[in-house]
Amino acid sequence: ASTSSSSGNTGNSKQKQRQKQQQQYPVQQYSQQQSRRAAAAAEKRPGMVYTAIAVCVVAILLCVKTLLWPSTASGSSSSSSGQSSGSGDGKNGDKQSEWDERRRKQTFDARGRFVLEDFDAKPPFSDFLPGIAGIYGKPVWSFYVNRGQCMASFGTKSKDYPIMEFNSANKAYQNTAALGFRTFLRITRSGHSVDAEPFSPANTRWEGLPTSSSAAANEFDLLPKRFMYVGTNEMQIRETDLTNKIETNVTYFTLPEEDFGSFVRRTTITNLDLSEPMIVSMLDGLARMEPAGGELDDLLKDMGRTLEGFFGVYQASMKDDIRTMPFYRMSTEATDSSAIKVQQKGHYALSFIEGDDSKLLPIVFDTSSVFGHDTMFLRPVELQRKSVREIIDGPQYGHAKTSSAFAAVDEVSIPPGGSITVASFFGKVGEITDVPVIARRVTAPGFVQYKFTRAIELVNQITQSVETQTGDHLFNGHVQQMFLDNALRGGLPVILGAKDDNNRVLNADEDKRLKVYHLFSRVHGDLERDYNNFIVEPTYFSEGPSNFRDVIQNRRIDVLFAPAIGSSSIIHFLHFIQADSYQPTSVEANVFTIKDQALCDKLATNAVGHADGHRAQREQLSSVLCNGPFRPGQLFLLIDELHIDLIMDRQVFIDAVAAVADTMPWAVFSKGYWADHWTYYLDLIEAYLSIYPETEEAVMYDNEIGYFFSPAHVRPRSEKYVLSEAYEGKGKHVRQLDATVLDPSKEKEREKYFNDVTGWYDPPANWQHDRNGNLFKSTPIEKLFLLATIKFATRDPYGMGIEYEAGKPGWNDAMNGLPGMVGSGLPETYELEILLKYVKSVIKKFHRSIFIPMELSVLVDTINVALNNLEDSGYVDNLTKLSNAVPVELFAYWDAVTTAREIYRDTVKITFTGEKKEFSPSDAVGYLERWIEQIEIGKARANRIGSHGHDDDVENTGIVPTYFAYNVAKWNKTGHENEDHHSLVTPLAMDVLTFPLFLEGPTRLMKTIDDEQEALELYERVINSPLRDSALNMYTISASLKGQSFDMGRMMAFSPGWLENQSVWLHMSYKFYLELIRHGLYAPFFEEMKTGMLPFLDPDVYGRSSMECSSFIASSAFEDPSKRGRGFLARLSGSTAEFLSMWVLMFIGPTPFSFDKETNELSMQLVPALPLSLFESDSIEENPRNENDELTISFKLFTSINVTYHNPDRRDLFGEPPKRYEIGLRDGSKIEIDGPAITSDLALKIRKVVFVDSIDAYF
């Protein structure tokens, strides 16, 4: 598709310039409006003349200030004027103009922060700070909403340890303005005092609604103006109150790189009167602050009043009877147990006015001293009765009640145009004596500003890894935001271990002393995803557990950003394939172990010294290192708790430990086994091979890895097929219930490896052994063959989908009832086809035997015998007329194979025998080819059975189905009952049930298609189907579910257009878009990008920063038009992984490295897919050009190498390599390469990164 330049007509340049100026200076524009309206009000109301004149003067002065310091005064800069970001038709029509105008609405300041004007009058949304404190910092978590002073909740580790109570979004929207941070001011000028509360809901500028005190429009217009600034690691709000001539700025951030965690708030009060000083007294802080005392979240909600009986506020230090160091803790943990836990840990609040002589401010912790008996916190009743000094000097009580934390400022003079900033720190410490130490640190001159700068730099250092410079500024920022959010969900890889000049060019495969460790990951729990229990460990090297599905997808392309990690991600996740083919639910950080006592002693001696006085510390450290698994953060925490003093640099120490330690993946069984977890392995492998194509054989055959050993097992049909009443109570049906359960015999096996010293299981407890007690291991290709075999044996009775037989569905976990309906999924079948073909290709390519567990060989034999019997039966599908009743022959095959699978699982439930059977390459390939044929037969069968919903006509759409379910038409009772006393049955016959269209089906199908034309035809069928939301120009997760059974899951419980019921689920939509660009469908891809992808959505409709993805967008099916197009459940979505995969294909290409086995030569070739519109500027500024007037785009390759594409012909660059390259080396030299590829030693140097500084590619 061609794309025209959209630079616009010259005649419009002045108009665009004026628009830009207006966007640059919103406060200036607002001030001018206020001046005019104030003057008009003064004419009509003589009693207000003085105020009106004062406001005019302040407004004029503020205009001057804005002109001189626009970034300070406005907090924002202009958004880009915008060009089309996709392929166009070369016309400057109305559609293009509308598009440009919509892009101009995006408001971001000079620092790339999203700016929301009148934020508290906009539709509510929630967001969070990333909780990143650096490698050597201790993070806190925090969530905010666009109400009140925004911060809705924060704390340590998880929502069970709040400093400000965690509430779901719906409650946070209601409570934050009252129970969160508040600021109460008493302003005195010329002897006249006035009270004010910045950000009070009473002064919210609700559009079209006059204030309750007066219907006068002018008074409404004089309400304070408010802005919100959403940064990557900070959030700021600003209120300009021209009536009282003050400006209030509040900034929140997480304290970085300290040995204590803290949430930091800076409140700046500015005197806007440039002619007269003002005296300010102030209470600024948190209205409700929770104490430390164990896990509190459930207790606060279930028995909050009783819990207050445990609460108390203590003082770490009191100077001159001034309470400056309150310590909030419970007396004991609130348990009804004979084992009492006395509470030593507590929360602190420290505040001071920033300056050279920072002194701690008094903290008002008694809520009644501020609000009196106003338990709704509507008014500071006591402050209205008293002065701040009287409150400070008065009595305060902090026991048996929930307290506050208000910093008290008593009569501070602020000169004309001057300001003061109150800094407040909130955190948790181990004991009360820690608080004075922290106080001395934080009050050091320049500490707060330096830490704020470092907090911003920390995240910038992460996001600069994908620094992208196109003509579209919003797209550039979005790339970095998506990289950050992808790292928060999947983790950011770092390399630990011995690093020297000899190995700095080696990867983790080439030097086993190098260990890959991931930082900052966590489960995506937040105010809107209140169902997930996130953990942000308050330790160095902070990380938390993540869902398997999330983390494996979000680490999909780690190797494309950090080649030094080698094959570690592949090996890491293949470990988790269990003997039954499933994977654990929760993945945690790798653990380190050292078994050699001499090594531990040596490390301890080097770390603490040889002196006799250090003997106790040496022995303690050696014991910690050798007595069980540990993680870096845990290790440093123990060192701190044991008061071990290191005499070497922390990084040197942990590198020395990692170099000699063994690492082991770690995971935990949690809720069950999802049917799609295994489908993401090939994505890891594909990404790796695009960087290291020559090492495929070594990775697949030369590694030996274990099998994760879970305490749960999947029941056979005889224990999970249950006869029960239908949900409507009109009959009985057979459901598959409680399919996966904890197994006492497996728990007993794990107990053998319990470590009494650490109080937890040693690593061998997580891995399956053979009957002789040895860890049972296989090569990656053997584990993939096992996986493929068992999944092939798990096809449903009609041979179409893969059964959801372990109690959980696939990717769409809102179909949680589908396993109960004896359901299956076609998406997993498509993925199985890909897996079978890959395993076949590897075995065929390298012509090497595989050695599989003897137990698995029995299953293989049974499958093939069952296939022989099916063929001998003479059954052949009549695709013109397929019955919903499963044919007897297919049912017999299914029953035989399923029985064999159940027998296999029973035999390997505890141990393998340890015996293996060799499959020759020809035998293995023969089995795989036969199974692939069966998959194709099943796919054709599925297409004929189809999907059937309220508004999808399968005959016309031609779109493949996604899910099936099976009604057990005949059964026999086994004579046994389940735990709920329902009869267990054996199925004798089944009928297939169908569902409406889902986007996942065609999306996963497209992965199996090699032909571009076939992919285009599938795309055209989808775009013309009910899956297309024509009003939003997006794709919904499903067609209408009207008339479907509630048995299918919570999708049916949700309203249409909301959550997983026919909404726009961005993760699956992005998967669909990814397949478009993968198949070279560039024109459709970039056209879809305009309307279906961030950051190209209208923020006024989207309802939040368009830098950040949401899980879903309410579709046109939702009943409330005002919510259609709005994003919900923000950030940490799988969309980030899909977007980064698209970014790779756009900027790098599908296979940057290739290997010629004949010549033994490595080659590199960049093959971008970039439209002209991304080369052209989206603002009135000049397009990105070089000195030769060429359009250019640049980006970071491997987070380090600057790549610049030169586009002298000003055209789309779709799937073509450059004509020549210019390589800049680190030593300053340059090498020119003619031709489309870089070969030999230079390609290797690029992959090793450290030698190469830049690549210029010319097209």
Question: Rounded CA gap, 1053 and 1059, in Å?
Answer: 10
- The candidate with the shortest Cα–Cα distance to 752, out of 985, 980, 910, 534, is 910
Q: How confident is the model at residue 118, as a pLDDT?
A: 95
CA nearest to 261, candidates 651, 646, 536, 649: 536
Q: Which amino acid is at 737?
A: L
Strand partners, 194: 187
Supply the pLDDT for residue 110. 85
Neighbours of 219 (CB within 10 A): 17
Whether a cis peptide bond, with omega within 30° of 0, leads into 1095 is yes
Q: At 968, phi and psi to the nearest 5? A: -75, 105
CA distances (Å), origin 1029, targets 117, 130, 493 = 30, 33, 38
Cα(246)–Cα(278) distance, integer angstroms: 10
Closest CA to 659 of 792, 827, 508: 508
Cβ-proximal residues to 387 (8 Å cutoff; 6+ apart), any chain:
186, 281, 410
C-alpha distances (whole Å) from 639 to each of 391, 593, 622, 652 are 43, 16, 11, 15
363, β-bridge pairs:
407
Question: What backbone phi and psi angles, to 5 degrees, belong to 664?
Answer: -140, 135
Rg (CA), the chain: 32
Degrees (nearest 5) of the Cα angle 531, 533, 537? 160
Helix (H/G/I), strand (E/B), else coil: 443 = coil
- Give CA–CA dist 751/261, Å, rounded: 36
b/e sequence 1213-1230, b meaning 16+ C-beta within 10 Å: bbeebbeebbbbeeeeee
- Tell me the one-letter amino acid at 968: V
Q: At 1226, phi and psi to the nearest 5?
A: -65, -25
**What are 1206-1236's pLDDT values in tens digits?**
999 999 999 999 999 999 999 999 999 999 9
Determine the length of the chain. Answer: 1259
Q: What is the largest CA-CA distance in the chain?
A: 104
Could you report the per-residue pLDDT of 719-757, keeping only the tens digit for each?
A: 999 998 876 667 789 999 999 999 999 999 999 999 888
| pLDDT, tens digit, 9 for 90 and up, residues 436-466 | 999 999 999 999 999 999 999 999 999 999 9
> pLDDT at position 251, please?
98
Q: Residue 338: its pLDDT value, please?
A: 87
> What is the phi/psi pair of residue 1071, to 5°?
-60, -40
Instruction: Locate 1175 and state its tokens.
Output: 């080369």
Distance (Å, whole) CA 478 – CA 232:
11
Q: Specify the pTM.
A: 0.91
Helices 434-442 and 447-463, packing angle to 10 deg: 80
pLDDT at 211: 52
Give the pLDDT score at 906: 97
Tens digit of pLDDT for each residue in 1041-1092? 999 999 999 999 999 999 999 999 999 999 999 999 999 999 999 999 999 9
Residue 156 carries which side chain, given as an amino acid letter?
T
User: Which residues in the chain show pLDDT less than 50?
Assistant: 1-93, 95-96, 99, 1180-1182
Residue entry with tokens 């690093």: 499
What pLDDT does 320 receive?
A: 64
User: Which amino acid, residue 662?
Assistant: D
> Which phi and psi (to 5°) does residue 112 adopt?
80, 15
The per-residue pLDDT for range 655-676, each reduced to its tens digit, is 999 999 999 999 999 888 999 9
| Burial environment of residue 732 by CB neighbours within 10 A (0 to 12, 13 to 18, 19 or more) | exposed
- What tokens appear for 1207 in the block? 């586009």
The dihedral built from the CA positions of residue 54, 57, 63 and 68, taken in this order, carries a sign that is negative
Q: In the prediction, which pLDDT does 81 show?
A: 28
